[in-house]
Every structure is written in C-alpha cells, then in structure tokens.
Chain A
C-alpha cells in the first residue's frame, strides 16, 4: 500500500521534481503530490473500453475489478454505447485525463484518432496499457489482447474439418472498420485458404452486431446459397442472429455454425447442437491483465510489450470443463 503511494507520488510530481523524491518519499509527501490522490487513498486507474453494455465488456470489467481488489487499487470502467462512437470515446479519454489517474487502460475504437490524446497522457507521465486491440503507437507500455487473427484461423480450421473440405461457407462480421472485425474476418479467410482452398467462401456480410439485422442477413445467405455448408459468425450479436436464422429456416444440423465469444445464446446453441462450436477469448483474463500490467508499471517493473491473453475453442465436448467455464459468460 505504502509502496504504491510512493510510486504514485513519483508519477504525480515527475514533471517538476527529480526522482529523488522517490527515495525520500513519505506518505505525507505523497499527499501533496500532483493531486492524483490524497494521502492514504488507493491509486486510481481509469479504464476506457470500447463498450460497456455488451457481455464481453462486462466480463472484462469483472476481471479488472477482481484484479483491482487483489492489488488494492481503484478503477473506473467506461465505454461508449456502441462501437461506432469513436468521438464519444475520445471525450471519455479526455475526461479521464482531467481526472489525473495513476494509469490508463485503453481499448481503442480508432487507434489513430486516439493518438493525440494518448500523447497528452504520455506528457503527463501517465502510463497507458492498451487492451483488446492494439494501438498504432509506441505510447502504451504493453498491449493485452487476444490474437484475433490466430483465433479466427483456429475457427477456420474447425470449419474445414466439420464440413469435410467442400461446399460454400458464409462469413458474417460485426463491422468493416474495427480492428477485431478486420482481424477475425481476415484470419478466418486466410485460415480457409490454407486449410481447405476448394471451399467457396462468400463475401463477408456485416450486421452491425445487431442480432435482428444479422438474423435477416443470415436468412438471405441461407436462401441464396442452397449448397451452404457453414457460416462463421464473428461476434456475439452476429452469432445470435445466425442461430435465430438457422432455426427459423429449419436448417439446424444442415449447416455448421461457428461462433465467436460467448453469451447465453451461443452456449445454449452449442449444447443443443445448433452451433458446432465457438472461439472464446478470455475477457476476464484481459481485464485482470490490464490492471496487473498497470500496477506493475506503477511499481516500476517492466512488462512485456505484448501480453497474449489467449483464446479457446469450445464445443459440446469441452464446454463444461472448468477451464472453459471460467472464461465463458452468460
């Protein structure tokens, strides 16, 4: 506790004072520093996410809160209402800066747009821990993220096996512009090319992650392609739409659905056989890693440039394993 206060004080005053303050720091001294936190208070880490209402982000938040409790720091966790609201996220970032946190956890909706504000964090000596998707800049001390490309490649491998290497496969993604959308799409397409080049992969369709819109699109794909063997669904909202459409069109068991992330609909669909399997990230782990990395940095420890938070393939056979259950959310 005391150690952290000292570290904080150093951060707060680093711009004007020498690091000598670090060695001579006392709790009293830390109280006068910067305005970051008054004496005895826990260091504060601001986390600006890509969203907060989606189950995935709620799981990240949960992990972050668990780790914060363990490390004795306070956090705030916020994100814009939809993943299209780049500007809203910028406003949250500036607001976070004004609160002078000890560190920032940040998942960029648009990493280029965020660059100038991140520079301000750097100038104020507030360390930045990126998560979920990378930031095109060397400001973050580390990036805690799923390797989405590799994860989607894994999904492609399973798709190839399950459809027997022939036929037509649809691809539905939440959007064209986000890093996760692009990585999962490209990872899947590359994976299909590598594992079963003879399968015809349709142009990716985008449903904004809206289950209702995605269901309409999936219905159209099913109608348009009588030889459809499978659909890859790149996030939870998209997956819900794909599952509903498959049921509505009475195609359960006739097409292979492979999803991404978790949530009740996907878990139920895997259990009842509508969905063959899905890739899950480790959202709770991401949250934990963000806070842990931030705390380590505050302590002056070095952290690796990239923290791979991992992913898992889960299907009917392993869905009840403790390891999988730990990272799934309902």
Chain B
C-alpha cells in the first residue's frame, strides 16, 4: 500500500468530492458498523441471536424509537432540536385513547386525529421557534414539560385501556401481522413505510430542500427569498406527524395509553440520529443513516441482553458506541476538510 505514495497526487487537479458521494460513503460506514456489531453478537451467540425470531424481536423494538428518530432527523437537519418527541408521543397516545375509547370515534378516524394531533404539537413548537424566535432547545424543552403534564391531566394520571375486542384493529396495527403465517409485526412495516415517506420528503420535495438549506444557513436561505419561518413551522409540524404515528404504535403495542412514560425517549431518538451521521449543527443528515442508527441501538440492547451482560453495563457500552461512532464521523469529516 505504501509503495505508491505518489498515487495520491494525480497530475491534474481533481474534484474535491462533495455531497452525494460523501453521504453514500457515510451511510456505508454506518451500515458497516451495524453489520459488524451484528456479526460480533452472532459469533457470540450463534444459536439464538441471528435467528429469525430474535431478528424480529430486534426490529420490533426499533419501531417506537425509530419513528421518533425520523421526526428528530427532520428537525435536527434544520439545525434545531426537538426534546419534546418523547412526551409529545405520550400525550398523543393519551389523546388517541381519548378519541377512540372515551369519545368512541371509529378507529381509523382516531388514528388520523392522533397523527394530526402530533402534527399540532409540532406546529406549536415550530411557531415558538420560527415566529417567537425561541431557541429550539428551550421551546421544545418547555413543550416536553407541558406535554408530560397534560398527558397526566387528561388521562387523570391513569392508563387508558383499549378494548381488546372492540379495538382489535388498533392493536393489530402494531402486534398483528399482515403477512400471514410469519408473525412479522406490522409495527416494523409501519416504520419501514414511514422511513420511505421521510426519505421522499427529505430528498424529493421542497420541504427537504428547504430543511437542508435552512440548516446550512438560515439567514442566507431567507435572503434567497424563502419564507423560512413558514417552512420551519412546516418542518416541526411534519416531525410532529411522525411523533403522532409513534404514539399510535406504542399505545397499540401496549393496548393502552400509559401517561407516566415517555420521558427519556427523546434522548434515545437523538442518539439514533447522531449515530446515523446527522450533524447536530444542521444542514446535513440522512434518513437511511437514522434508521441504521436506531437499529444499532436496538441491536446493542438486544445483543447484550441475549448475552446476559449485566444491565448496568449495557448503558455504558451504548454510550461508548455513540462516542466512537461520532468521533470517527467527525475525524473523517475533518480529514476531508483539511487535507
């Protein structure tokens, strides 16, 4: 390898590769990381870990954090942050139960209403950030607390249960299987579908283009004649729709809306986004990376449990993985920028 030191300096100046090329490498790196971790666990536990049943378990456990991470990705690319996704999910789940159980809305209508409710929370976040000019950290921190409190108030601090027969369709959305005979949970398909939608939004639509542009340079984007305030609100609102979907998936899985949960999910979601190579300073990020990031977290959690590693160490290892992954990513970006 070192025998051709001159090969690195071709005679003619060449392109410093940008955008898509680098992103692709980055996703390959993340994917390689995921496969490596998967391989390590498979070697350590060849009987159980890579089996169909356990892989299904891993995918299933990715869904809720994965959906929240999709929401967080859209916001983080705009160089914002959304700390409210966890408790906004809880509040939306409580609203879902309120719509369907207490108000007796048809399940399909309740689902639409819940997703829109998630979007409404996002819209309020967007309003606070774009119109009132609050820093996203503060605006969504406040929303995190408000949503947590409201979830308890509206539910009377009690779980609201779906009826296993009357609302069987609702529960089926998460735990049922549309593919006969596989027991492959629908929740995974919902995540996959949502990821495709997010991918299209980010890569093929004005929303994605403006999202990246605002994250790269908000002022310049505004001076280019883009109504950045309007688009920021739309970005937060769309992120909220994904949160609403996450609310449906978690409450469908549990067959109830649990008002006391939710806090802490936002950090898992942000961790997935960061592992996936999305920059917290905005302007850069991919949906594929985020999905891989969420999978890495799920694989590590599951794998360590399969290996019966004491649980105290599972968090330590996850934290270290985040450090290593983000360090490698930044080191590579730095190398690309300075050498």
Contact = CB atoms under 8 A, between A and B. Distances in A.
Interface string B191-228: 00000000000000000000000000000000000000
A223 B301 contact: no
A211 interface: yes
A327 to B, nearest CB: 17
A205 interface: yes
Nearest to A245: B57
Given A53-B259, A203-B310, A223-B57, A215 B305 contact: no
Interface size class of B (residues with CB under 8 A): 35 or more
A308 interface: no
B254 interface: yes
Interface stretch (B12-20, B151-159, B234-242, B274-282): B151-159
Contacts of B57: 216, 219-220, 223, 249
Interface size class of A (residues with CB under 8 A): 35 or more
A190 interface: no
Interface centre among B53, B159, B185 (most CB of A within 10 A): B159
A52 B157 contact: yes
Contact of B183 (A208, A215, A221, A250): A250
A105 B212 CA distance: 54
Contacts of A38: none
A55 interface: yes
A248 interface: yes
Contacts of B114: none
Contacts of A26: none
Contact of B301 (A58, A216, A224): A216
B305 A211 contact: no
Given A81-B263, A220-B305, A53 B175 contact: no
Contact of A223 (B148, B157, B256, B306): B306
Interface centre among A82, A216, A244 (most CB of B within 10 A): A216
Contacts of B259: 53
Interface in A171-226: 176, 202-206, 208, 210-212, 215-217, 219-221, 223-224, 226
A216 B54 contact: no
Contact of B64 (A176, A212, A264, A265): A212
B263 A223 contact: no
A296 interface: no
A81 B148 contact: yes
Contacts of A204: 311
Nearest to B303: A220
B173 interface: no
B254 A211 contact: yes
Contacts of B253: 212, 215, 244
Interface string B262-280: 0110000000000000000
B158 A219 contact: no
Nearest to B45: A224
B258 interface: yes
Nearest to A204: B311
A55 B158 contact: yes
B311 A212 contact: no
A203 B261 contact: no
B255 interface: yes
Contacts, number: 98
A247 interface: yes
B172 to A, nearest CB: 12
Interface in A75-100: 81-82
B60 interface: yes
A263 interface: yes
Contact of B256 (A82, A249, A265): A265
A64 interface: no
Given A53-B152, A223-B57, A212 B261 contact: yes
B255 A265 contact: yes
A130 interface: no
B305 A244 contact: no
Contacts of B183: 250
Interface string A215-255: 11101110110100000000001001000100111100000
Interface string B71-96: 00000000000000000000000000
Contacts of B159: 55, 263-264
20 contacts: A52-B157, A53-B157, A58-B157, A81-B263, A82-B263, A210-B258, A210-B264, A211-B258, A211-B261, A212-B253, A216-B57, A217-B305, A220-B306, A223-B54, A223-B57, A223-B302, A240-B258, A244-B253, A264-B161, A268-B164
Given A212-B254, A240-B256, 10 more contacts: A54-B157, A58-B157, A81-B260, A206-B311, A215-B254, A219-B57, A219-B61, A223-B51, A224-B305, A248-B185
Interface of B: 45, 48, 51, 53-54, 57, 60-61, 64, 148, 152, 157-159, 161, 164, 175, 183, 185, 250, 253-256, 258-261, 263-264, 301-302, 305-308, 310-312
Interface of A: 51-55, 58, 81-82, 176, 202-206, 208, 210-212, 215-217, 219-221, 223-224, 226, 237, 240, 244, 247-250, 263-265, 268
| 3 closest Cβ pairs, A-B complex | A220-B305, A53-B157, A216-B61
